[in-house]
A = this chain, B = another copy of it.
Amino acid sequence: MARIGFVGLGIMGAPMSANLAKAGHQVTGYNRTPGKAGPLVSAGGRSAESLAAAVTDADVIALMLPDSSDVEAVLRGPSGVFDLAAEGSLLIDFSSINPGVARQLAVEAREHGLRMLDAPVSGGEMGAVEGVLSIMVGGDIKDFESAESIFSAVGKTVVFVGPSGSGQTVKVANQLIVAGAIELLAEAIVFLEASGADMPSALRVLGGGLAGSTVLDRKGAAMLARDYAPGFRLELHDKDLNNFMEAAQDVGVVAPLGALVSQLVRSLKARGLGHLDHSALLSLVELLSGGEKPA
């Protein structure tokens, strides 16, 4: 069992750190804003008053932070993890950040005598609470194998996908496909409703053929009901799509549908709707098509 410093006890980090403690690890959690350690402490972990107190004596330092800039701020600088961590310790970044930044941070970690894996997750708050996240891991495969007891405590489908940055690369590709699938389903639903089709039957037959998808299975009924309670917020999806577009540009890949759906998600955020579930892409198709759902 490992001594784990867990940085970032938000919606995802709090239950993940608690699951690590329940699995028998010695977990010390730190969050910049205090008062977030309840789930971890209830599970047998400890709450640290400072970043240093959480990470100085840890074998494994786990991060679960909102975006690239947050991870960079916690790692770099005179009072950052790169300076505080004991030599040879393993950093696991569960955050979803820019793949290029992840690659650069792994280089800097090595320069500080540390090992680093990028390990973004999917599966949402429910997946985090139940310890059944999908985790896409990039880095050195030996470091991946050494962390098996960590990953198995928080994830169900844990896949090593290549060198440093690859976890983030697969995560942004995942977010491209998910946003696009939601938009396609939204366009189909608005079109089918306007055409007078019987909607539950239509979605049933669509789901049974080549048009079937996990998005249709999990989001179709809520989209018919215009229930946009998150779920996964548009503003987070906007961040992920921005990371996809930057990473695609970095490797010279042109992604026409990716660019368009990014623009649609961003426009909803700009309209102040970033707090809604990403399935609210449907509301923009309705707006473009001149109105609400026909009565």
Contacts and interface: CB of A to CB of B under 8 A. Distances in A.
Interface in A246-295: 247-248, 251-258, 260-261, 264, 285, 288-290
A170 to B, nearest CB: 5
A142 interface: no
A173 interface: yes
A209 B122 contact: yes
A282 to B, nearest CB: 12
A40 interface: no
Contact of A170 (B180, B181, B202, B256): B202
Contact of A173 (B204, B206, B264): B206
Contacts of A11: none
Interface stretch (A49-57, A105-113, A145-153, A161-169): A161-169
Contacts of A23: none
Contact of A205 (B161, B180, B206, B244): B161
B162 A198 contact: yes
A102 to B, nearest CB: 11
Given A160-B198, A181-B184, A187-B256, A209 B134 contact: yes
Q: Assign chain A's interface to a size class.
A: 35 or more
A190 B232 CA distance: 26
B187 A176 contact: yes
Task: Tell me the interface secondary structure of chain A in the complex.
Answer: helix
A256 B264 contact: yes
Interface in A183-217: 183-185, 187-188, 190-192, 194-198, 201-202, 204-206, 208-215
A44 interface: no
B252 A194 contact: yes
Nearest to A212: B214
A253 B159 contact: no
A188 B174 CA distance: 8
Contacts of A201: 159-162
Which are the 9 A-B pairs with shortest beta-carbon distances? A254-B288, A213-B213, A177-B211, A194-B251, A180-B184, A187-B255, A212-B214, A173-B188, A159-B205
